[in-house]
Amino acid sequence: MEYTIKHVSERLRLPISTLRYYDREGLMPLLKRTETGTRKYSETDISWLELVCCLKNTGMPIEEIKEFMVLCLTGSTTSEQRKELLEQHKANILGQMEMLNRSLEMINYKLKNYNKIGIFHIDTY
């Protein structure tokens, strides 16, 4: 089954302009077209886009996602590199989680003071 850009846009909640942008940037090098140039997304394309979103949402730049795609295109000789890239990104995500935890702690601390008294005026920020 193949899907129009509008369908994919609704299913993944990505603006059409973003889908075209990703294609333009080389993230979808295998995307098929009709004879007249209309994009035809396959289930495989959609799965890939889901991974793209996951990587993007966790802070991987488009450029790096593209590198990953290029490695995929290059074939099975690059599988070690691709795994390494994902492991790196995983470490990155774990780092982000730590950071969020530390920040949450700080905010909870501020909120605690806030609830006690009307602290948090200008002297203490």
Partner DNA sequence: CCTTGACCTGAAGTTAAGTTTAGCCTTTAT
Partner DNA sequence: ATAAAGGCTAAACTTAACTTCAGGTCAAGG
- Binding site residues, its own copies, CB under 8 A: 30, 44, 47-48, 50-51, 54-55, 57-58, 69, 72-73, 75-76, 79, 82-83, 86-87, 89-90, 93-94, 96-97, 99-100, 102-104, 106-108, 110-111, 114-115, 118, 120-125
**Which does residue 98 touch among its own copies, DNA, none (CB within 5 to 8 A, set by kind)?**
none
Query: How far from chain centre, in Å, is Cα 82?
Result: 16
* Distance in Å from the first CA to the final CA of the chain: 57
Contact yes or no for 87/68 (Cβ under 8 A):
no
| Least Cβ distance, residue 64 to its own copies (angstroms) | 14
How many Å apart are CA 14 and CA 10, to the nearest integer?
Answer: 7
